[in-house]
Amino acid sequence: MVGWTAVLGGIGGDGPGFPLVLGSSWWDRLWFRGEVETSNFAGSSDAVFFYIFWVSVFFFVVLMALMGYFAVRYRRMPGVAPERSPSHNTVLELTWSVVPTILMAVMFFWGLYAYIPMRVNPSDSEVINVTAQQWGWNWVYDNGASTLQTEVIADAAAPVFALPVNRPVKFIMSSKDVIHSMYIPAFRIKRDVFPNFFSTMWVEPTVVSHRWDEELKDFVPIAPGANDGYYLACAEYCGDQHSQMWARVIVLSDVDYRRWKDKQASTDGIPLDKLGELLFRSKGCVSCHSIDGSRGTGPSWKGSWGQTHRFADGGSAVVDENYIRESILEPAKHIVQGYPNQMVSYQGQLTDRELLALITFFRTLSDNPADAEAAKADAEKEMAEKASGAK
């Protein structure tokens, strides 16, 4: 049988979908059988959902059938006087008052019973700080690391995050600009993310989706082709590229999770130009800036090195190291003509080496081959100096 995951293009699909369960058919789902709960909230959320769904289906069918029957049975007919309508019917009135009240009370208390645990996280939860901005996500783990893994979802670069299996994780979330909403359908969790305000939610993933391969430095599915992880989407309209504000969440064993997290925290072994490219994608630069010369929300990085940018206030500046650094840390100071003032500051979010890496990568995109080669040479020189210093 065709499962929900195949129907909705989720796990193993080609595009962004909503992986609800692993390995269960639509018939199993309709009758509460065979589902694999991907988080501690999946079972309780699904139970309430399907109770409401089937109550709604039952009464919709009954009411539509009765309406159709009464419309035919008591239709107006030539020569037949209409019957006088009764003023009331005690049994009928009690039935349509008491029965729905009982059903709605069950919905309320069952829903409340499922909802309250979602708001109170265990005291031993690992804390992950989530930052949302147009149009990307960033998670900072308890060791200060952020993911460097990215992939293409819906024609846009999206970060790939990891979570540990069978361990509670608390998300402390805030936005740099407008209201967003972090939604992981497979885990049955969603919470709005606000500027100037911290919102929280927590979850405990229960199904390992991948393992971390140290040699490949990448995630490898536990069952190839069967589970590509879980999609994270923004569920609150936030601007032009709202529909491309995706990420993928991978669930690892505790051992693999610690190894992956330690790997993300140490970037010293990555050359500056390569690290800059990773940061360009993982930190959300790619959401507004292109590297092929095409126009985006912000100026393209392609061929900009050494050029003169003219500003909305009439001033100008040559694009060099200081200009790029200032643009990253104080983006509102100088606005390039023809572009909106909407970039947020990365002050405090990047180390000095990460800033240097972004500048080095920017230089490699220069139209002047000498500048591009010099940038790569500088990256190689830094790695050589690190290697000689370690001996």
Report d(CA 198, CA 204) in Å as an integer. 20
pLDDT band at 2 (very low <50, low <70, confident <90, very high): very low
- What is the phi/psi pair of residue 334, to 5°? -135, 120
Query: What structural domains and CATH numbers belong to the chain?
Result: 37-119 (1.10.287.90), 126-265 (2.60.40.420), 272-390 (1.10.760.10)
Give pLDDT, residue 382.
74
Question: What is the DSSP pairing of strand 246-252 with strand 156-164?
Answer: parallel
Contact 334, 326 (CB under 8 A): yes
Q: What angle do CA 180, 173, 139 make, to 5 degrees?
A: 100
Q: What are the percentages of helix, strand and coil residues in the chain, rounded to 5?
A: 40, 20, 40
Give pLDDT, residue 22.
44
Contact 250, 163 (CB under 8 A): yes
The token pair at 346 is 């990365």
Q: Where are the beta strands (DSSP E) in 253-379?
A: 308-310, 316-318
Give pLDDT, residue 279.
85
- One-letter amino acid for residue 18 of the chain: F
Look at residue 85 and tell me whether its pLDDT is greater than 80. no
Look at residue 9 and tell me whether its pLDDT is greater than 60. no
Give pLDDT, residue 30.
62
pLDDT band at 32 (very low <50, low <70, confident <90, very high): low
Q: Is the sign of the CA dihedral 363, 368, 371, 374 positive or negative? A: positive
Contact 133, 344 (CB under 8 A): yes
Higher pLDDT, 109 or 262: 109
User: Above pLDDT 70, what percent of the chain?
Assistant: 88
